[in-house]
Structure 1
């Protein structure tokens, strides 16, 4: 199985993984042959890459970091929980409301404990590109992805489980305030105006105001909503905090937040590949983002996920076939083209092996 950009599809290609909606309903099944009329429909839903099966990628497995059932359960919890918290924030506080908010927070904590347990046992770098879905609500999917990345990064920091779970809860709820932003602005297919951008930026304080009033939520979790757009050089918002003025939880979540934002398609901007997302983080490392957190994050994620096509510094082209957990930037590669760009009988090389240390990935794309 390999990953291809939707713009580079060719007649006869067959889906290697089904395409689903947020409810887990299969819209296009594995094995479906791609035809002209399907492509515009997929692009309409911001699908930018597809997994396909073909001879050269036979046997390359794409492992999902989070099982589909758990992902669906968590998305359902986030969708219902966000709405409950927003409704309660707009009504007068009473005993019934307090009980509802308590149940909502417990439901968030329950699903996140399952995610933490899964990631603690996980021996692969995170690959959230492993499934192709049509996302009807960007905020809910983004909240889930950021919580998964933030949890992995918190574990890499060696933090106690209590702190990991608080960071996960803070990450799930970091964009709660965006539920108050009109969908026509969140889904606008072009750059926001100055006024629209100012309205979106209010989500940090709006989310904080809701969360700080909920007894079950530790104050640092509420500060994740408030501070996740702060930057260590003081250029962030809403308060322009600098360095150690920013809570460590927020520094972790800001890295996860930006990475997931740029590696997922938005209404007005296409997604980039994981290695490009990491480059964006490194460009802001030491100014916008904590350098230590970016370095740790690099080792948490699949920079070159299985199925991605890459070119080596000796001119050969191949498909990433397996993670190298000891060095995620040096995976195993299935070579499919020679130095002269001619097709060859596929064979495997391990970039982590001593004899291949002079080899480097110099270009990565979803296209052979």
Structure 2
């Protein structure tokens, strides 16, 4: 059998085993199915990162590049964790109780592997799909928060707590009606008021746990508070907000913007960072935002992108004077360079 990323599938390939969704809960295809384009699209929409093909090849003898192996291992671990997280979130929804020790073990021993992977945010983008599952968003936020936390100097138990906070930040949504969570359009003021209850509901689920630190509890409660006092649930401002909550807030925004939703398509990292930049001196902590931008420059340099005029290009540099990461210098396929600070063009797609 041969492992192939879903984006590389072509019609006519044969599945080498049963294919399920990322949570392992829904059976999508049986073994030995000859893939059609419709089925490939379905797999991509469900967010299946890879599958095994039955092509008579001995998988153990296949030679992958070092980068391919890192990506494959990331996808494997991600899918395993997704299955576990989905199971735990369904447990929380049913019993209104958080399996704390299992969640901590996931954050400390498995999600930490994703956080420590070089190129984690690149690979995470490839795992994104149309999904209204709170547990998938929570796993992604845990990884992004862990990476951002490392960039901000978090380490040891402090970093573990930040990853756990990212994993648990939206557990309060298990009590929110799906008709509101999955609504394909704008929420009414009454519906948004119900959504806003998820921070306090999540805090209630963990507040008596002796195994969860106060920092994690406050990050769950305060990740929608904003530096200028415009957030919820308490309208806190500045230093009144827990430091971990400030990191989770940025990870939460970035993940939400770069993932597909039923009411909109995902944004590029450049668009998401632009939104964060707009909030940097209002609701978000500037120092954390600037750390995020500085490191994302390194992440995005070398990326292949699609432009609004139909051309493809590669990110080669960022102007040292530019504060943000939204308008880099590009090398275009036709051999010319474009400075997006001087051109009325947009990046509409990123291919890694």
Normalising by structure 2, what TM-score?
A: 0.71
Q: Which runs of 5+ in 1 are unaligned?
A: 1-5, 7-11, 48-58, 91-100, 322-327, 340-355
Distance 1:14-1:204 versus aligned 2 partners, 3 A rule = farther
SS in structure 2 at match of 1:118: helix
Tell me if the contact between 2:22 and 2:79 (Cα under 8 Å) persists in the aligned partners: yes
Q: Where in structure 2 are the equivalents of 1:229-308 lying within 5 Å?
A: 229-301=224-296, 304=300, 308=304
Q: CA deviation at 1:223?
A: 1.2
Deviates more, 1:158-167 or 1:329-338: 329-338
The counterpart of 2:195, out of the listed 189, 200, 203, is 200
Corresponding position of 2:348: 365
SS in structure 2 at match of 1:365: strand
Q: Greater share of helix residues, 1 or 2?
A: 2
Distance 1:116-1:78 versus aligned 2 partners, 3 A rule = closer
What is the CA–CA distance in structure 2 between the aligned matches of 1:279 and 1:76, rounded to whole Å?
32
Corresponding position of 2:125: 129
Distance 1:307-1:130 versus aligned 2 partners, 3 A rule = farther
Deviates more, 1:297-306 or 1:222-231: 297-306
Corresponding position of 2:208: 213
Corresponding position of 1:350: none
Distance 1:85-1:169 versus aligned 2 partners, 3 A rule = same
Corresponding position of 2:85: 78
Q: How big is each residue's C-alpha offset from its partner over 1:82-122, in whole Å with a ceiling of 9 and x where there is no partner? A: 333444447xxxxxxxxxx5xx2222222222346435643
Q: How big is each residue's C-alpha offset from its partner over 1:242-292, in whole Å with a ceiling of 9 and x where there is no partner? A: 000000000000000011011111121221001110000000002111011
Runs in 1 of length 4+ with deviation above 4 angstroms?
12-15, 24-29, 32-35, 37-43, 300-303, 328-335, 358-362
Corresponding position of 1:337: 334
What is the CA–CA distance in structure 2 between the aligned matches of 1:65 and 1:187, rounded to whole Å?
31
Q: CA deviation at 1:360?
A: 6.1
SS in structure 1 at match of 2:236: coil
Q: How big is each residue's C-alpha offset from its partner over 1:40-85, in whole Å with a ceiling of 9 and x where there is no partner? A: 8689x588xxxxxxxxxxx9x7764971222122222322323334
Distance 1:23-1:76 versus aligned 2 partners, 3 A rule = closer
Q: Which runs of 5+ in 2 are unaligned?
A: 1-6, 14-18, 48-64, 317-323
What is the CA–CA distance in structure 2 between the aligned matches of 1:149 and 1:332, rounded to whole Å?
25
What is the CA–CA distance in structure 1 between the aligned matches of 2:20 and 2:303, rounded to whole Å?
19
Normalising by structure 1, what TM-score?
A: 0.68
